[in-house]
């Protein structure tokens, strides 16, 4: 593996994405919708309408959460407790779904898109090896989704503290579980999905087919990541760290297998039977 070749391929793809308005605008809309619009609307509504019947019922239902979650609930009023629980526990899976959706879309078109644009021949005759090309494409697919998630997470933290903070006695977000989730659990799940999606992109003949296949591959990963992130937020921090470690291990094996199976002819040939 040549690090310089990997960085060059990744940088070239990222520059192309940065200039593509048809990619930037939908990505911005998706991040804004999940990290800003929906949480802000829901939390502002709960903290504004006061102690109405439905909020009282939701607050009482929170006692059915796991003991650790109930012990950590903050707020002296039903609306405060409800807003705190929703902001800490309800939206955690979004931190998994958003980067997977964005990065899978990029990864699906990463290699097959080179063929369709006619730029595959350039890569075919470049000194970069198949490992360099695969890892460069993987990194270029990983960065947009994860950076969008980190930026969205920062804005989400600000919104939560501004809206819910006064109801629960001050700024409280992000919690330790959220930090572990964002920095330790989200990246490996993203790597697992992309390692397969980029490999598929090298095998198929059209971007449309690659997007369809990527959707099928990403869906199980999203469901697993969703369940793991939700469970992690209700469990112990140690369990979250263990989940992240296992995900990193699986992601490493998945990349190793994908790199070994990719051949230059599959990546760049115009027509391979």
Query: Residues 111-154: pLDDT tens digits?
Result: 777 777 777 667 777 787 878 888 888 898 899 888 888 888 88
From 171, 170, 167, select the one nearest 75 (Cα to Cα).
167
Token representation of residue 248: 């990193």
User: Can you give the pLDDT at residue 273?
Assistant: 46
Token representation of residue 146: 């994860």
User: Can you give the pLDDT at residue 249?
Assistant: 93
Q: Do residues 5 and 129 make contact, with C-beta atoms less than 8 angstroms apart? A: yes
Taking phi over 0 as left and psi of -120 to 50 as alpha, with beta for the rest, 126 belongs to beta
From 262, 87, 106, select the one nearest 161 (Cα to Cα).
87
Query: pLDDT band for position 227 (50/70/90)?
Result: low
As a whole number of angstroms, the distance between CA 107 and CA 94 comes to 20
Mean pLDDT of the chain: 79
pTM, to two decimals:
0.80
Query: pLDDT band for position 162 (50/70/90)?
Result: very high
HEC states along the chain? CCHHHHHHHHHHHHHHHHCCHHHHHHHHHHHHHHHHHHHHHHHHHHHHHCCCHHHHHHHHHHHHCCHHHHHHCCCCCHHHHHHHHHHHHHCCCHHHHHHHHHHHHHHHCCCHHHHHHCCHHHHHCCCCCHHHHHHHHHHHHHHHHHHHHHHHHHHHHHHHHHHCHHHHCCCCCCCHHHHHHHHHHHHHHHHHHHHHHHHHHHHCCCHHHHHHHHHHHHHHHHHHHHHHHHHHHHCCHHHHHHHHHHHHHHHHHHHHHHHHHCCHHHHHCCCCC
The arithmetic mean of pLDDT across residues 191-199, rounded, is 84
Token representation of residue 1: 């593996």
From 43, 128, 109, select the one nearest 81 (Cα to Cα).
43
More confident residue, 209 or 150: 150
Question: Is the per-residue pLDDT at 272 higher than 60?
Answer: no
Distances (CA, A) of 271 to 125, 139, 198, 238, 242: 16, 26, 18, 49, 44
Question: Is the per-residue pLDDT at 53 higher than 60?
Answer: yes
Question: Is the per-residue pLDDT at 271 higher than 50?
Answer: no
The arithmetic mean of pLDDT across residues 43-56, rounded, is 79
Taking phi over 0 as left and psi of -120 to 50 as alpha, with beta for the rest, 51 belongs to beta
User: Can you give the pLDDT at residue 257?
Assistant: 84
For the chain, give the percent of residues with pLDDT over 90.
3
């Amino acid at each position: 593996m040549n690090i310089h070749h990997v960085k060059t391929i990744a940088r070239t793809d990222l520059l192309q994405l940065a200039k593509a308005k048809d990619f930037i605008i939908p990505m911005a809309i998706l991040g804004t919708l999940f990290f800003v619009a929906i949480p802000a609307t829901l939390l502002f509504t709960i903290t504004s309408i006061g102690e109405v019947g439905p909020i009282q019922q939701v607050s009482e239902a929170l006692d059915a959460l796991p003991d650790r979650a109930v012990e950590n609930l903050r707020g002296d009023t039903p609306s405060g407790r409800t807003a705190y629980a929703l902001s800490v526990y309800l939206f955690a899976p979004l931190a998994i779904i958003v980067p997977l959706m964005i990065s899978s879309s990029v990864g699906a078109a990463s290699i097959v898109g080179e063929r369709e644009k006619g730029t595959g021949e350039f890569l075919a005759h470049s000194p970069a090896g198949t490992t360099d090309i695969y890892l460069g494409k993987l990194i270029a697919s990983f960065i947009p989704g994860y950076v969008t998630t980190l930026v969205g997470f920062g804005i989400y933290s600000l919104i939560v503290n501004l809206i819910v903070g006064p109801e629960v006695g001050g700024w409280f977000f992000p919690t330790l579980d959220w930090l572990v989730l964002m920095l330790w659990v989200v990246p490996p799940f993203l790597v697992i999905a992309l390692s397969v999606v980029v490999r598929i992109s090298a095998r198929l003949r059209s971007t449309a087919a690659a997007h369809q296949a990527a959707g099928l591959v990403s869906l199980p990963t999203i469901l697993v990541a969703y369940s793991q992130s939700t469970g992690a937020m209700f469990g112990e921090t140690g369990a979250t760290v263990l989940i992240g470690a296992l995900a990193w291990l699986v992601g490493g094996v998945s990349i190793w297998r994908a790199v070994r199976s990719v051949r230059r002819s599959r990546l760049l040939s115009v027509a391979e039977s």
